[in-house]
A and B are shown apart, each in its own frame.
Chain A
Amino acid sequence: MTEMTGARALVKALEREGTRHIFGISGGSLIPICDELLNSDMRFILARHEQGAAHMADGYARVLNKVGVCMATSGPGATNLVTGLATAQIDSSPVVAVTGQVNRAVIGSDAFQECDIIGVSASVTKYNIQAMSPGEIPEAVKKAFHVANTGRKGAVLVDIPKDCTTESADITFPDQVTFRGYTVNAAPRPEELDWAARILAGAERPIIMAGGGVISAGASGELVELAELLLAPTATSLMGKGAIPGDHPLSLGLCGMHGTMEANMMVPKSDVLLVVGSRFSDRTTGKISEFAPNTKVIHVDIDRSEIDKNVETMTRVVGDAKLALRGLLDRVRVLRTAKTSPEWSKRIHEFRCDMGENGEERPPYLRAPKVIRALRQELPRDAIVTTEVGQNQMWAALHYDAYLPRTFFTSGGLGTMGWGFPASIGAKAAKPEVPVVDIAGDGSFGMTENGLATAVEEELPVVVVVLNNNVLGMVAQWQRLFYDRRYSAVKLKGNPDFVKLAGAYGAEGVRVGTYDEFRAAVRRALKADVPTVIDVPIDPEENVMPMVPPGMGLKDTLMEGA
């Protein structure tokens, strides 16, 4: 036990959890904490908006598979975090937010910059705690990190009144925390594995679908091994991209609304579908009743409440994806006498088709699929890509092959425009030695472009590829396809000149007119020591294809738009 201020207790507690970076913006209630940070080796990365700070912590967490920390002052600082926390929570990313709060005596009185962030954040976090004395701070931090980073990971918020940070008390740092109501059952039950393995071993047309849980559990090796053992074509959800290398012969690519033809045609034809660490989002399944009507579905997930939530399963395995896949591998090896015909996985080629990469050129525009494929070729295998939301995200998902887990990140669950750029900054802070690229739309980039100031200042030379169609492209695509081309509230006539914008921040900006210029710009950007924004002109009329129209089944995948 040592006497110290709450601020020091917080800083020490964060250090004890292995924190090295904090993304945030200070303010009245955080001054004592920021002051104490001057005595610490932790690096405070100053964002320009708290939403950006939360996304940076999220990107950082996804890359390193460890907790990302963000910090905001009471009131508006805290409410600005909300979108970032909701985004991290729904994508199961371990983020801990520390918020300042007004002094204890005035909580509940609508004091200056007071917001009930505990109440506000309750629906968008896995857990939240208010530390009501300096002595409670170390335990609150320990609990927050534990809950954020175990089981199905997620966002946790710790709220600390300012006077708890200035007051001194005898502080002890717990080595562990106990919860009566929170236990993590990572190990799957043997009976569940036995039953699932028996169904898998009897499959003639098996398909595996991998979600973000495979990446979170570090289970890609086991996944690929099982796919090869079963000769099972393997699709991924958006969050599962990278779980199986995109150039693996059994890789089907993305399944769902903007899935590949081979994934969307083959999933409904399977006799057994093994779904690992995916929650069957409506964007992945299309119309539920047509998703896999005659298929035996086996669902592996660490979160029991995801099982049978959206799709009725034949059987379940509740537990960590890595342990579950290991268990299945061991059992299937014993049971199996090669039931899958080699013809089954060959059908991948029967359905595989051009997804716009070879379409007709329409100068002065470049074609987004080709731009993304060129980007892939210019980047090393371990490069990290983040995306924004909209057409850019779906083009990236379809045309950017991720070869390794934890190299492709996107706001899959919440679909948060403006996520990709700050997330790329967090990713670069996590792995400065690896190239990091944000594949962006002009609308999304506009939402968090102020991160350029942070990236320049912190010497984090990320690359932003703006697929610039001067329109909220995905919304316009729906209006084109389903609303008779009645464009409403989608034109971005007031877009800035992104080259000048980059220059204004002290970053590099470049506009390209040909694929070769684009490749050259990427190569230069990878060597630059400042961030680079590459402005790529894209046809506002270009559609992302294939597409399953909303409310339809996977087999109704369209190849051509209106």
Chain B
Amino acid sequence: MHTVSFLVENQPGVLFNVSNLFRRRGFNIDSITVGALEDPRVSRMTITVDADPKTLNNLLDQLDKMVEVIRVKRLDPLRTVRREMLLVKLGTRDPMAREDALRYINGQHGLVLDIDEEHIMAEVSGEPEELDRFLGNVKSIGIVEMSRSGVTALEKGRLTL
């Protein structure tokens, strides 16, 4: 899985144009996150995608050509912090299940956001692989609903996009 970050013009249609090029090359985007920067005319977009590196490099060169794309970079996994947030609602009518759920949530430094007799909703963040493991653990409790934010990433130290 590769992580690619973009700076793009914050305008209608940019997300369409970027994802359209991935589609054209037959790549399935695994996750995508976008948000404006301190300069609201610019957004940062982070895409994770499974692709063979040669085709991906060529695709990035093609993306870099797009008028609305200011910068593109494939992030080096060893020098990058990747984070994702998960909202998950677990079925916790059984007190044992509730206890297990709270243990897993605390173990991942999660926050309980909402709670009633039958459910616990939690916010958990971490590396996407940690979230995968967390979800593996709570699966037996019963996942009523979940939503993952997609991966966002920054390079370490002096490196910037």
CB distance A122 to B13 under 8 Å?
yes
Residue of A nearest to B23 (CB): A123
- B4 CB → nearest A CB, Å: 15
CB distance A123 to B58 under 8 Å?
no
Partner of A181, one of B9, B54, B62: B9
Per the bound structure, the CA–CA distance linking A180 and B70 in Å amounts to 6
Chain B hits for A118, CB < 8 A: 13
Chain A hits for B138, CB < 8 A: none
CB distance B67 to A305 under 8 Å?
no
CB distance A179 to B67 under 8 Å?
yes
Residue of B nearest to A303 (CB): B65
Please tell me if B42 contacts chain A, counting CB pairs below 8 Å: yes
Identify whether the interface residues of A are mostly helix, strand, loop, or mixed.
loop
Partner of B42, one of A122, A126, A180, A307: A180
- B13 CB → nearest A CB, Å: 7
Please tell me if A182 contacts chain B, counting CB pairs below 8 Å: yes
Please tell me if B69 contacts chain A, counting CB pairs below 8 Å: yes
Please tell me if B100 contacts chain A, counting CB pairs below 8 Å: no
Per the bound structure, the CA–CA distance linking A518 and B53 in Å amounts to 56
Chain A hits for B41, CB < 8 A: 180
- A299 CB → nearest B CB, Å: 13
Partner of A123, one of B8, B20, B61: B20
Please tell me if A365 contacts chain B, counting CB pairs below 8 Å: no
Chain B 29-71 per-residue mask, 1 if CB under 8 angstroms from chain A, else 0: 0000000000001100000000000100010011011111111
Chain B hits for A181, CB < 8 A: 7-9, 66-71
Q: A123-B24, A180-B42, A181-B70 are in contact. Are A305 and B65 (CB under 8 A)?
A: yes
CB distance B20 to A126 under 8 Å?
no
Please tell me if B137 contacts chain A, counting CB pairs below 8 Å: no
- B53 CB → nearest A CB, Å: 12
Please tell me if A304 contacts chain B, counting CB pairs below 8 Å: yes
How many residue pairs link A and B with beta carbons under 8 A? The number is: 41
CB distance B67 to A182 under 8 Å?
yes
Chain A hits for B17, CB < 8 A: 122
Q: A119-B16, A181-B8 are in contact. Are A304 and B61 (CB under 8 A)?
A: yes
Partner of A127, one of B58, B64, B67: B67
- B81 CB → nearest A CB, Å: 25
Q: Which residues of A from 257 to 315 have beta carbons under 8 Å from B?
A: 303-305, 307-309
Please tell me if A147 contacts chain B, counting CB pairs below 8 Å: yes
Per the bound structure, the CA–CA distance linking A308 and B60 in Å amounts to 13
Chain B hits for A307, CB < 8 A: 61
- B44 CB → nearest A CB, Å: 13
Chain B hits for A123, CB < 8 A: 20, 24
Q: A122-B13, A180-B42 are in contact. Are A309 and B58 (CB under 8 A)?
A: yes
On chain A, the number of residues with a Cβ less than 8 Å from chain B's Cβ atoms is 18
CB distance A305 to B62 under 8 Å?
yes
CB distance A305 to B9 under 8 Å?
no
Chain B hits for A303, CB < 8 A: 65
- B9 CB → nearest A CB, Å: 6
Per the bound structure, the CA–CA distance linking A304 and B62 in Å amounts to 8
CB distance A122 to B9 under 8 Å?
no
Chain A hits for B24, CB < 8 A: 123
Chain A hits for B7, CB < 8 A: 181
Q: Which residues of A from 150 to 191 have beta carbons under 8 Å from B?
A: 152, 179-182
Per the bound structure, the CA–CA distance linking A303 and B7 in Å amounts to 20
- A140 CB → nearest B CB, Å: 12
Per the bound structure, the CA–CA distance linking A309 and B67 in Å amounts to 21
Chain A 113-124 per-residue mask, 1 if CB under 8 angstroms from chain B, else 0: 000001100110
Residue of A nearest to B42 (CB): A180
CB distance B9 to A180 under 8 Å?
yes
- A413 CB → nearest B CB, Å: 15
- B18 CB → nearest A CB, Å: 11
Chain A hits for B9, CB < 8 A: 180-181
Per the bound structure, the CA–CA distance linking A147 and B68 in Å amounts to 12
Residue of B nearest to A304 (CB): B61
Chain B hits for A180, CB < 8 A: 9, 41-42, 70
CB distance B67 to A126 under 8 Å?
yes
CB distance A305 to B70 under 8 Å?
no
Chain B hits for A119, CB < 8 A: 16
CB distance A305 to B61 under 8 Å?
yes
Chain B hits for A182, CB < 8 A: 67
Per the bound structure, the CA–CA distance linking A303 and B66 in Å amounts to 12
Chain A hits for B71, CB < 8 A: 181
Chain B hits for A304, CB < 8 A: 61, 64-65
Chain B hits for A308, CB < 8 A: 54, 58
Per the bound structure, the CA–CA distance linking A126 and B62 in Å amounts to 11
- A198 CB → nearest B CB, Å: 25
Highest count of chain A CB atoms <10 Å: which of B16, B20, B42, B58: B58
Q: A179-B67, A181-B68 are in contact. Are A122 and B58 (CB under 8 A)?
A: no
- A308 CB → nearest B CB, Å: 7
Highest count of chain B CB atoms <10 Å: which of A122, A127, A305: A305
Residue of B nearest to A151 (CB): B65
- B34 CB → nearest A CB, Å: 15
Per the bound structure, the CA–CA distance linking A350 and B155 in Å amounts to 59
CB distance B16 to A122 under 8 Å?
yes
20 intermolecular pairs with C-beta atoms under 8 Å apart: A119-B16, A122-B13, A122-B20, A123-B20, A127-B66, A127-B67, A152-B65, A179-B67, A180-B41, A180-B70, A181-B7, A181-B67, A181-B68, A181-B69, A304-B61, A304-B65, A305-B64, A305-B65, A307-B61, A309-B58
Nearest 4 A-B pairs (CB), nearest first?
Answer: A305-B61, A181-B70, A182-B67, A305-B62
Excluding A127-B66, A304-B61, 19 further A-B contacts by CB distance (< 8 Å) are A118-B13, A119-B16, A122-B13, A122-B16, A127-B67, A147-B67, A180-B41, A181-B7, A181-B9, A181-B66, A181-B67, A181-B68, A181-B70, A181-B71, A182-B67, A304-B65, A305-B58, A305-B64, A308-B58
